[in-house]
């Protein structure tokens, strides 16, 4: 492990410890909820970043897959008595399978065409959510009833908003370790060869289709886990939270944050949820954040291809070399 990677790892450990142990002691209830949502969307953004960084493929359906994971988690929540953590994992796993199936027809596409296909998938999911809504404890397969929905269960040790925030942060840390394990093992090496040249990868005996599906499945798993955690954070889900256009925004913010580092996903989650909340708290329109997002994206494209995280890590590397 090179010094920059070691620095990144220790920063991650310190940041996780800070957020889990200290932030809940100094922040109010509103900001704990905002940061919980930011962490959940950072988890989803890490899946978008994984596919783009490792394979150079654009996935605009991540928001839709968050909704799919949330739908599955809600249905299981009302239909079973499974432990919540197991329910979250199952929702993630099933969403990963669905994400891989959605990606199957698009595996021969790249660039704009792949982006359009994944955006179409997101639009179809939006239609589904609008038509059938999210389960709220009703009867039948859809589980929808014309009544007030019961709150979604949380783990027994994470009933309060503060405890649930810590639960989500631990889940985020585990997800980052899972991604790191993939990058440093056989899938990561296969993805690197595929990104460099699919023809050379096939000549080396790598099953290109399998490893592409693996990346999309892992990204879908992270999205589904995010959806299940979001259901627990909000108590219920609404179709208006999973608009197709939000997938474009999440991908753009992942690029702004930096797709090559776990820190970039955190930056993306904070920009997506924390920045609009700050504007609202100041009495300003949250739409101002969109202007900032656009300017940040232009900056990332033209001068900072590794995003804000890359600039931060570069500053640490430069500081270390000056010592």
Task: Give pLDDT, residue 13.
Answer: 61
Checking if the pLDDT of 7 tops 70, the result is no
Q: Residue 95 sits in a domain of what CATH number?
A: 1.10.3470
Residue from 275, 230, 237, 241 nearest 256 by CA: 275
**Mean pLDDT (the chain, rounded):** 86
CA distance 271 to 73: 26
Between 18 and 63, where is the model more confident? Answer: 63
HSE-up of 290 (CA within 13 Å, CB side)?
A: 7
Percentage of residues in the chain with pLDDT exceeding 70? Answer: 90
Collapsing DSSP to helix, strand or coil, 84 comes out as: helix
Rounded-to-integer distance, Cα 59 and Cα 255, Å:
12
| Weakest mean pLDDT among 2-6, 14-18, 46-50, 162-166 | 2-6
Q: Which of 72-81, 269-278, 288-297 has the lowest mean pLDDT?
A: 288-297
Within 8 A by CB and 6+ apart from 170, the residues are 20
Q: pLDDT tens for residues 107-158?
A: 776 777 788 888 888 999 999 999 888 988 878 878 887 776 677 889 999 9
pLDDT at 2: 46
Question: What share of the chain has pLDDT > 90, as a percent?
Answer: 45
- What pLDDT band is residue 291 in, cutting at 50, 70 and 90? confident
Which domain does 132 fall in, by range? 3-322
* Residue 1, pLDDT score: 45
Q: Answer yes or no: are the C-beta atoms of 280 and 286 closer than 8 Å.
A: yes
The string of DSSP letters for 207-218 reads -HHHHHHHHHHH
Of 53-57, 148-152, 173-177, 255-259, where does mean pLDDT reach its minimum? 148-152
Domain total for the chain?
Answer: 1
Contact 226, 43 (CB under 8 A): yes
Q: In angstroms, what is the C-alpha Rg of the chain?
A: 19
């Amino acid at each position: 492990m090179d010094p920059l990677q070691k620095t990144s790892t220790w920063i991650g450990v310190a940041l996780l410890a800070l957020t889990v142990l200290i932030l809940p002691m100094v922040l109010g209830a509103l900001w704990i909820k905002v940061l919980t949502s930011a962490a959940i969307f950072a988890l989803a953004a890490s899946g978008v970043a994984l596919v783009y960084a490792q394979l150079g493929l654009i996935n605009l359906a991540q928001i839709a897959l968050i909704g799919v994971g949330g739908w599955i988690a809600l249905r299981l929540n009302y239909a079973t008595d499974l432990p919540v953590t197991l329910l979250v994992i199952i929702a993630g796993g099933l969403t990963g399978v669905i994400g891989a199936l959605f990606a199957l027809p698009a595996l021969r596409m790249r660039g704009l065409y792949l982006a359009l296909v994944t955006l179409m998938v997101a639009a179809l999911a939006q239609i589904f959510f609008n038509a059938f809504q999210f389960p709220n404890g009703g009867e039948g397969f859809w589980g929808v009833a014309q009544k007030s929905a019961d709150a979604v269960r949380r783990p027994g040790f994470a009933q309060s908003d503060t405890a649930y925030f810590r639960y989500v942060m631990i889940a985020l840390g585990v997800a980052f370790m899972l991604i790191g394990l993939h990058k440093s093992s056989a899938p990561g090496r296969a993805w690197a060869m595929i990104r460099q040249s699919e023809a050379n990868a096939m000549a080396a005996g790598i099953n290109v289709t399998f490893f592409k599906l693996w990346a999309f499945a892992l990204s879908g798993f992270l999205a589904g886990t995010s959806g299940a955690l979001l259901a627990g954070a909000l108590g219920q889900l609404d179709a208006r939270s999973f608009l197709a256009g939000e997938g474009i925004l999440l991908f753009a913010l992942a690029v702004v944050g930096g797709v090559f580092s776990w820190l970039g996903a955190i930056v993306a989650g904070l920009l997506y949820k924390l920045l609009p909340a700050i504007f609202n708290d100041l009495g300003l329109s949250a739409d101002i954040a969109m202007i900032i997002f656009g300017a940040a994206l232009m900056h990332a494209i033209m001068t900072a291809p590794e995003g804000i995280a890359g600039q931060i890590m570069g500053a640490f590397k430069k500081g270390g070399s000056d010592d």
